[in-house]
Amino acid sequence: MIDRMQTFTVSDLSLIHDTSMEILSMTGINFNDLGIANIFKKNGFPTDGTRVYLDEPHVMAALQSVRPEFTVHSRNPDRNVKIGNEHYVFLPTGGAPQVADLTGSVRPATFKDFDTCCRLLQTSDQLDMGGYLMVQPNDIPVSTAHLDMLCSYMTLCDKPIFGACGFKEAALDTIEMAGIIFDGKEKIKDFPVMVSVVNAMSPLQFSKEQGEVIVEMALHGQPIVITNMILAGASGPISLPSLLALLNAEVLAGIVLTQLVNPGTPVLYGTATAPMDMKTMVSAVGSAEAVKIASAAIQLARFYNIPCRAGGSLTDAHLPDAQALSEGSLMLSTVVRNGANFIYHACGQMGSFISMSFEKWLLDEEVCRLIRYMTTPINISKETMMVENIVQVGIGGQYLTHPTTFQQFRTLTSPKLFNRKDISKWATGGALSADQVASKALEERLSAYQKPWIDSDVEQALIDYVNKKKLDTA
């Protein structure tokens, strides 16, 4: 089979690796925290204040304890997910401070929008998990917003948790609240019930806050995505080969820390790296370069046998139009085909992460559905050939009324939103564009939402925890 997407050779990957090792051993990486630097120092790594130097033998020794696959548990066991090897999960978009409508007009995201995200996620047949910061609410205090979002998600959804990961206290709150659901935080130690994402501060450093999140989540054995978003030409080299070496160095440094704190901590190799558009000075997440970088990062993760996080339906468009679906589909289909395991921003992302769209969320789910089917293997066997049926129908016959057609036609894909009607029926139905169909479907979807069962004592305990923490913070 010919795959025109570049597949790196072992020599290519080894050269990137060797260059990353040179960067880490010669320049090092700054964790901006003496406590974290001391963790490295105790394990034989040279340090200079908060700067850590990582040599290849120590790095490779630490990577030996990384798990290639793990399960994330939900309060509803039927919703548990596997991540790693051939298993992958879709997550919705996150972090957008604005919500866009069908015209491209934007407004500040609210806590009500976050609840809408919870309801859409719970009713989705494509999204596997979600949680903290699916949008960034502007109408609740930043210092306690994570508490409200976690409580809302944990009660409105029964899928696995995306943990609060902006700072140490938020991480600890996620652990405490998960402990309420799972009968004590001691029960979840080394029993994955959430995944958190930590971002490097490129080039070659982690903020003190993000380093602390790594340490706390690793101490509790909870999966961590170590990721970065280098802007080629701004916070990283514009040359893609050089960029990949820097990207790899930063991510490996974070992964090594997880294993030094608690060997075997589930960890994922991630990136959302993209070029900076030199005309507009924005991150071009919908660019061809961003797709190539994502493909390369997935191959690097597999080189180390580490599960991988990649971006999903990423776009620079400001409304759910042809650009949004084209750019998003290119990235989403590439990362699934290339072997990503944790696909963030699979649905709803807009405007280079500045906004999100509920209509695009539903359209992206349609694309997710198609990609899942597209990548499902065809069962080639003597039985599935059914040559006797072809002989029976013969030359010039027809299969429309053949029994096998009636038995199997429902196995064919059938879109929920995309149009397959002829033009007259489409026109009679209002001649709606795909985004208009999605807008109509959004209302129906939300009205059909049913809150999943949760023990009333557990729900009250979550509410009480949030209220107490808010009082303590005030």
**Cα separation of 135 and 355, whole Å?**
9
Alpha carbon distances (Å) from 417 to 140, 284, 412, 436, 439 = 34, 28, 16, 10, 10
Q: Please give the pLDDT value at position 288.
A: 97
Q: Is residue 461 part of a domain?
A: no
Is the pLDDT at 474 greater than 80? The verdict is no
pLDDT average, residue stretch 352-381? 97
Average pLDDT, the chain: 97
Total domain count for the chain?
A: 1
Q: Percentage of the chain with pLDDT > 70? A: 100
The mean pLDDT of 348-366, rounded to a whole number, is: 98
328 in a domain, yes or no?
Answer: yes
Q: Is residue 369 part of a domain?
A: yes
Distance CA 355, CA 98 (A): 4
Banded pLDDT at 284 (limits 50, 70, 90): very high
**DSSP string across 50-92:** TEE---HHHHHHHHTT--SEEEE--SSGGG-EEEETTB-EEEE
**Mean pLDDT over residues 461-473, rounded?**
95
In sequence order, what are the beta bridge partners of 29?
52
CATH number of 126's domain: 3.20.20.480
Residues in the chain, overall count: 474
Give the model's pLDDT for residue 1: 78
Which pLDDT score is estimated for 275? Answer: 97
57 is a domain residue: no
Q: Distance between CA 394 and CA 388 in Å, rounded?
A: 10
Question: Is 178 within 8 Å of 189 (Cβ atoms)?
Answer: no
Whole-angstrom distance, CA of residue 325 vs CA of residue 364: 7
Res 5: pLDDT: 93
The pLDDT value given to residue 254: 98
pLDDT tens digits for range 223-245: 999 999 999 999 999 999 999 99
- Is 6 within a domain? no
- Which two tokens mark 404? 């096998």
pLDDT value of residue 450: 97
Domain assignment of residue 262, given as a range: 69-374
Q: What pLDDT shows up at residue 473? A: 85
In percent, how much of the chain has pLDDT > 90?
99
**Confidence band, pLDDT 50/70/90 cuts, at residue 166:** very high
Q: Which residues lie closer than 8 Å to 196 by C-beta, 6 or more apart?
A: 162, 163, 164, 165, 171, 174, 213, 217, 222, 223, 224, 225
- pLDDT, tens digit (0-9, with 9 covering 90-100), for 412-462: 999 999 999 999 999 999 999 999 999 999 999 999 999 999 999 999 999
Q: Return the HEC string of 368-399.
A: HHHHHHHCCCCCCCHHHHCHHHHHHHCCCCCC
User: What integer is the mean pLDDT of 272-300?
Assistant: 97
Q: What is the pLDDT of residue 225?
A: 98
Q: Which of 3, 17, 100 is nearest to 59 (CA)?
A: 17
For residue 21, is it within any domain? no
Flag whether 190 is in a domain.
yes
User: pLDDT tens-digit profile of 376-418?
Assistant: 999 999 999 999 999 999 999 999 999 999 999 999 999 999 9
- Residue 452's pLDDT is 98
Q: Is the pLDDT of residue 154 over 90?
A: yes
* Residue at 114 is within a domain: yes
- Average pLDDT for 160-178: 97
